[in-house]
Structure 1
Amino acid sequence: MKNILIIDLFLVVRGKDMEFLTKVMGQSHIGAAIRRVEDLEEAIRHPRVHAIFLLGGDINYLPGMIKKVRASEKMLLTHIDLVEGIGKDRAGLHLIKRMGVQGIVTTKSNLAKFAKEEGLWVVQRLFIVDSESVKTAVRVAENIKPHAVEVLPATIPQYVIQDIKKSLRLPVLGGGLLKTESDVKETIGKGIDAITTSLRHLWNVAL
């Protein structure tokens, strides 16, 4: 009976993993990070990009961006910590959900919690600088239970990625310090499920 329960738990966790990787990432290993409104069109047109991560700008441009992304049948996730004009509270999350934002990225646990309550996709960003920060990151994410975590930098050692995935059983994205195609392939080879990058030539990497 115990073995059956373990197998069932594994299947449930894999189902949640696949839901984020399928619905948000579109089964792509590349997410486009953009900082300006002007960058949106290129990300929308790119055949390898399904998820677009907005890392700047202000709330006044969001309605137009949301409309374009939805028309393209892609996903827009807003880094709520970096976009100006959005209240960093429950009301701010409620507002952007009503505007049509599909998901958020944040480093803040309270915003991740509010976003989940609003029914948004939630990616919790974790900065990994040493062993203690890994323990803290895992503890925080275990409490919030986001749909995925994003580790920075993406070049962290393989054993750290494995420890995070074993503890959280969530998709792990990687961002930062990736410059070449070989960097991306090495990162994915370590076990990271997908990377986010603003470098256009990396959007073309075939994996």
Structure 2
Amino acid sequence: MEKSSNVLIDKLYKNRLVAAVKDPKYLEEAIKYKDNISAVLLMTGTILTVKRYVDFIQSHDLPVILHVERIGGLQMDNNGIDFVKKYIRPAAIVTTKSGIIKKAKAKGIFVIQRVFLIDTDMYINLEKDMGKNQPDVIEIMPSRVPEFINRLSKVSPVPIITGGLLSSEEHAKNAFDNGAIAVSTSNIEMWKKDINLLI
């Protein structure tokens, strides 16, 4: 995972757009616009299909960030984490759960922590717990909270990405201007654009 995680970080800084795929029918679309995309955030599949999806995407030189909580039948206990690392082999996983972060990091998996900022208390807890969980990247949801992205990017020891409610180039530019290194979106119209031109 060490090599693939370095590739992922490099790609996040280079292309700055993550294609969030919520349905297998959009896998081909993500591949079609791969020159604009740094990675695919895979949010669909089951334990029977996910390896095929991951292999297909990664065979096109696009790293996969696997949203482990959205994969049907996948339990992220020690066996599930081993299954992801040794069999599915994504470049990274994304999770909202601190217990999964800790176990996955112990196994050498690159982890993105997804955080839903629903109120100020969530932000305060995130800042307070930063040293405990220590993911490799933090993803702030939704992307339309620039003030908090800005504040967090100034104190976080790891890069910040953001997603959710992102549907225009203006939204992406606002996120970049406030310290996000990349944005994620399931909006296919955004996949078609070279958002590096916004920086």
TM-score range, shorter chain: 0.7 to 0.9
Stretch of structure 1 that moved more, 52-61 or 147-156: 52-61
The one-letter code matched in structure 1 to 2:20 is A
Identity %: 27
- Distance verdict in 2 for CA 1:65–1:41, change over 3 Å: same
Per-residue Cα deviation, 1:97-155 (whole angstroms, up to 9, x for no partner)? 11122211000001111111222211001111222110112233321111100001111
- Structure 2 gap segments, 5+ residues each: 1-5
Query: Could you tell me how far apart the structure 1 residues matched to 2:141 and 2:30 are?
Result: 22
CA RMSD after TM alignment: 1.8
Q: 4+ runs of 1 displaced by more than 3 Å?
A: none
Query: Could you tell me how far apart the structure 2 residues matched to 1:110 and 1:172 are?
Result: 20
Q: Which residue is 2:51 aligned to?
A: 63
The one-letter code matched in structure 2 to 1:33 is A
- Structure 1 gap segments, 5+ residues each: 1-17
- Distance verdict in 2 for CA 1:177–1:54, change over 3 Å: same
1:38 correspondence with 2:50: no
The one-letter code matched in structure 2 to 1:37 is P
**Paired residues, number:** 188
SS of equivalent to 1:105 = strand
SS of equivalent to 1:129 = coil
Q: How many angstroms does 1:178 deviate by?
A: 1.4
1:165 correspondence with 2:165: no
Name which structure has the greater RCO, CA cutoff 8 Å, separation 6+: 2
What TM-score comes out, normalization by structure 1 length?
0.84
Q: How many angstroms does 1:20 deviate by?
A: 5.4
Query: Could you tell me how far apart the structure 2 residues matched to 1:62 and 1:68 are?
Result: 10
**Which structure has the bigger radius of gyration?**
1
Q: Which residue is 2:179 aligned to?
A: 191
Query: Could you tell me how far apart the structure 2 residues matched to 1:150 and 1:126 are?
Result: 6
Residues 149 and 171, structure 1, Cα contact 8 Å, conserved in 2: yes
- Distance verdict in 2 for CA 1:184–1:170, change over 3 Å: same
Residues 79-90 of structure 1 aligned to structure 2 (within 5 Å): 79-90=67-78
Query: Could you tell me how far apart the structure 2 residues matched to 1:83 and 1:146 are?
Result: 20
Residues 130 and 156, structure 2, Cα contact 8 Å, conserved in 1: yes
Q: Which residue is 2:188 aligned to?
A: 200
